[in-house]
Amino acid sequence: MSNLTQSPAWRALQDHARTWSGRTLLDLFAQDVDRAASLSASGAGLFLDYSKQRVDARTLELLLAFAEQQQLQGWIARMFSGALVNDTEQRAALHVALRAPRAAQIFVGGTDVVPRVHGVLDRMSSFADAVRSGFWTGETGARITDIVNIGIGGSDLGPRMVCEALAPAASGPRAHFVANVDGAQIAATLRGLKPASTLFVVASKVFTTQETLANAHTARHWLVSHLGEGAVERHFVAVSTNLAEVRKFGIAPANMFEFWDWVGGRYSLWSAIGLPIMLAYGPALFRELLAGAHAMDQHFSHAPPAQNLPVLLGLLGVWNSNFLATGSQVIAPYAQRLERFVGWVQQLEMESNGKAIDREGMPVDYATTPVLWGDVGTNAQHAFFQMLHQGPITHAVDFILPVTVDHEYPDQHRLLIANCLAQSAALMRGKDAGAVRAELQAQGLSGDELDKAIPHRVFRGNRPSNTLLLPRLDAYHLGALLALYEHRTFVQSVLWNINAFDQWGVELGKQLAQSVLRAIDDPASVDLDGSTRALLARLRP
């Protein structure tokens, strides 16, 4: 048994969870007419309704006591102050510094990092303005019409998701993203582009990532074969922490935009990794995104825990998965432009908190991150919502909905709102056998036929969800939403006593990929297991 599961706050929550069997959300709403108002909170322009969570005043009291036991406030303060919260790598995790205003001061190892952050932001802005205005041209003097971001994981998911989410604001070159080492992706991308008007952004924190370098070399070869070696300087820029590797690839330091080891890959879209956003949408929009995230940072560090959105979301997530045994966390944005938000959250939360060793190096005896998955509503309703409504396992859902829209068909937004609210209500209310019987009898069913039909139409209900409202899907509120999920991830890591900021779990696969690659050419040189060897034999041309 770990210290955590033996701790007073954990055990109190466990005891309290037992009192929840048989209690329904519908009863709670009937008993408390103010439930929706009291179980809601707002911050940085976002509004959270968590009244459809299986919590009452006592649950919240115990959850807040748990947060206190885990010294959450101290951890938040430490993260914001630049302490080495990533202790397996002896690094700070200072994504909050990337969106701090110019006047702020945040120290890492005695150096104020804010001037550096703004120095890079200013360089990015000048470069983006030059490209967007046509002052920076390609080798032949042609204007840049297309940019291709080559990166993977955090060096792809964040900027790609933001570019899609803010698509109506597009005002510069078209942004394309290549991540997969499957050559099909870069082939399809290059097919539609002209070398003379294409700019490549090679984005990699370490600049040794196999997939990114393979795609970058392919792109370089494509460019050089059309325009010659001398064109690389006008058509390639790098975003990285590793100047030596950038140089080795053949990109000059003047064409590199720097970030730092205290920026985790999945927390990096606010850094120079956001360059494609700036190039396609302009520096002003990027700064709005940062401002929204900063507003959420302020809320996170100052709002009392009971009204603090990231703290509440973190506590509710732990309550659901560790004490009420929900199966997974579904993310359902009711906003088509947030389609890629799910993928970004998956990396954020599962790469951060998919760990089984605690901060003391001991194995955990409790669940850490749930599986996160989802899709946009209303599409998801016609795909996997059947399971959410009637499957044997209860899953928690986050519904995310913009209040207003700015597209040409605002009438359809009424349908979107209706569907979103109807789904969370249906998950909560369910439909009992009595109601089903009455409905079917009214349709004329009776006897055996009626009895057989009833169980298939019953919904157990009582399934928990959050509803998160954004005034509109603009850069500011998107920034706030993303920062909210970043901080929820951190809150949960503190509650689970794990380090959210390393990712040793991706290393083994990377190492083995190198061995298998060697074995493709020279099978005898590598000691492979029987299955891998047999598969390789089938795959060899």
Binding residues for ligand F6P (CB under 6 A): 151-155, 204-206, 209, 212, 265-266, 351, 503, 506
Provide the minimum distance between the beta carbon of 160 and ligand F6P in the complex, in angstroms, as a whole number.
12
Q: What is the DSSP letter of 143?
A: B
The answer to whether the CB of 376 falls within 8 A of the CB of 336 is yes
Q: What span, in angstroms and rounded, lies between the C-alpha atoms of 56 and 39?
A: 9
Residue 400: what are its φ and ψ, rounded to 5°? -125, 125
**The residue type at 160:** R
CA 121, chain centre distance (Å): 23
- Note whether 41 and 309 are within 8 A (CB): yes
- Kindly report the length of the chain: 541
Q: Which is nearer to ligand F6P, 150 or 316 (CB)?
A: 150
Q: What is residue 107's three-state secondary structure?
A: strand
C-beta closer to ligand F6P: residue 349 or 351: 351
Closest distance to ligand F6P from the beta carbon of 149 (Å): 11
In 3-state terms, the chain is what percent helix, strand and coil (to 5)? 55, 15, 30
Q: Which is nearer to ligand F6P, 45 or 153 (CB)?
A: 153
351 in catalytic set: yes
Cβ-contact 362, 4 below 8 angstroms: no
Bridge partners of residue 466, in order along the sequence: 398
For ligand F6P, the closer of residues 209 and 308 by Cβ is 209
Min dist CB 311 to ligand F6P, Å, is 25
Helix/strand/coil for 20: coil
Residue 209's nearest CA partner among 176, 249, 173 is: 249
Q: 364 burial class (0-12, 13-18, 19+ CB within 10 angstroms)?
A: middle
CB of 406 to ligand F6P, least distance (A): 31
Beta carbons within 10 angstroms of residue 219's beta carbon:
23
User: Residue 363: is it exposed, middle or buried by C-beta count within 10 angstroms (0-12/13-18/19+)?
Assistant: exposed
Nearer to ligand F6P, 153 or 172 (CB): 153
Strands (E), 320-446: 328-333, 371-374, 396-404
Give the DSSP H or E segment for 289. helix 283-302
Q: Between residues 132 and 205, which has the closer beta carbon with respect to ligand F6P?
A: 205
Judged by beta carbon, residue 266 or residue 287, the one nearer ligand F6P is 266
Query: Which one of the listed residues 248, 302, 382, 407 is annotated catalytic?
Result: 382
Q: Is 355 considered catalytic here?
A: no
Cβ at position 533, least distance to ligand F6P in Å = 26
- Cβ proximity to ligand F6P: between 238 and 420 the closer is 238
- Among 194, 221, 302, 510, which one carries the catalytic annotation? 510
Query: Which is catalytic among the residues 351, 355, 395, 487?
Result: 351
Active site includes 339?
A: no
Residue placing its CB nearer to ligand F6P in the complex, 260 or 476: 260
Residue whose C-alpha is closest to residue 303's, from 49, 35, 72? 72
DSSP state of 337: G
- Please answer whether residues 503 and 349 qualify as being in contact, where contact means their C-beta atoms are separated by less than 8 angstroms: no
Phi, psi of 8, deg, nearest 5: -60, -45
Residue 273 token pair: 């990794």
Q: Which residue has the tokens 């466990």?
A: 14
End-to-end C-alpha distance for the chain, whole angstroms: 52
Beta carbon of residue 216, minimum distance to ligand F6P (angstroms, whole number): 10
Tokens coding 470: 């954004």
Are 294 and 101 a contacting pair, CB within 8 Å?
Answer: yes
Cβ 122 to ligand F6P, closest distance in Å?
23
Task: Report d(CA 9, CA 66) in Å as an integer.
Answer: 5
- CB nearer ligand F6P, residue 206 or residue 284: 206
The least CB distance from residue 246 to ligand F6P, in Å, is 12
State the minimum distance, in angstroms, from the CB of residue 364 to ligand F6P: 21
Q: Locate 513 and state its tokens.
A: 């990929």
* Token code pair at residue 201: 């952004």
Q: How far is the CB of 185 from ligand F6P (least distance, A)?
A: 16
d(CA 246, CA 241): 9
Please give the positions annotated as active site.
351, 382, 510
